[in-house]
Amino acid sequence: MTQATPQGRPLDDDLTGRVLAATRESLEDVGFVNLRIERVASAVGCSKTAIYRRWPTKAELVASAILDRVTLGETPDTGDVVEDLVEHAWQHLTNFKHDGEPKPKHNRTMLAMFDAEVIPLIEDRYMKKRHVMGREILARAVARGQLDSQLDQDLIIDAIAGLTLFRLSIKPDTKVRNDAELKDSYRTLVRSLVASPG
């Protein structure tokens, strides 16, 4: 299956996938600042024009490479606000952990997310949508009487997302031994965030 450029010319999906994979490899090797479109094109065996036809800027290419393997997922609805928020956070964590793959040596692909040119693209295409899903969980919890309507919902969502990003980018090696312990650490955080002030 192919997609079309704004000019109507079809794009080769296989080439698109190979460019995004090569971009991730190059990012991990040299980081965002030192990434060169020429190097990606050479690794894939295509022209720079073929890349720029799909992504007009390096930031667009990098954002697409990062989000290529990311899915929004469904908004959890377990009936319990704590478990819903834990599952919501878990979706976000697993989007970027890529279990089963070799652990990156430098984590430069993840750090590229925070470049000033890249982060607005990631925010617009992914983070804002995830935030809306989190607000849906909290609004449902308020309607059920599980959550105080006076709590700062944006702060709750941002705190949970902040923990995830910290563990993925700054401190990827946590002391927890397995996924069950990691989820428990999220439950501890979430319970404190949604507790009604005394």
Average pLDDT over residues 165-188: 76
Is pLDDT above 90 for 4? no
Confidence of residue 1 (pLDDT cuts 50, 70, 90): very low
Average pLDDT over residues 106-130: 91
Both structure tokens of 31: 């980081």
Both structure tokens of 22: 């090569």
Decide if 181 contacts 174 (C-beta within 8 A): no
Residue 127 has a pLDDT of: 93
> Which position has the higher pLDDT, 44 or 162?
44
* CA 106 – CA 151 distance, rounded (Å): 38
Decide if 187 contacts 89 (C-beta within 8 A): no
Mean pLDDT for the chain overall: 87
Is pLDDT above 90 for 95? no
Return the CATH fold of 2-64. Arc Repressor Mutant, subunit A (1.10.10)
Over residues 8-37, the pLDDT tens digits come to 444 688 999 999 999 999 999 999 999 999
Residue 97 has a pLDDT of: 77
Spans of all domains in the chain: 2-64, 81-194
- pTM attached to this predicted model: 0.82
Q: Is 84 helix (H, G, I), strand (E, B) or coil?
A: helix
Decide if 159 contacts 129 (C-beta within 8 A): no
Decide if 134 contacts 143 (C-beta within 8 A): no
CATH number for 81-194 (one of 1.10.357.10, 3.40.630.30, 2.10.60.10, 1.10.3720.10): it is 1.10.357.10
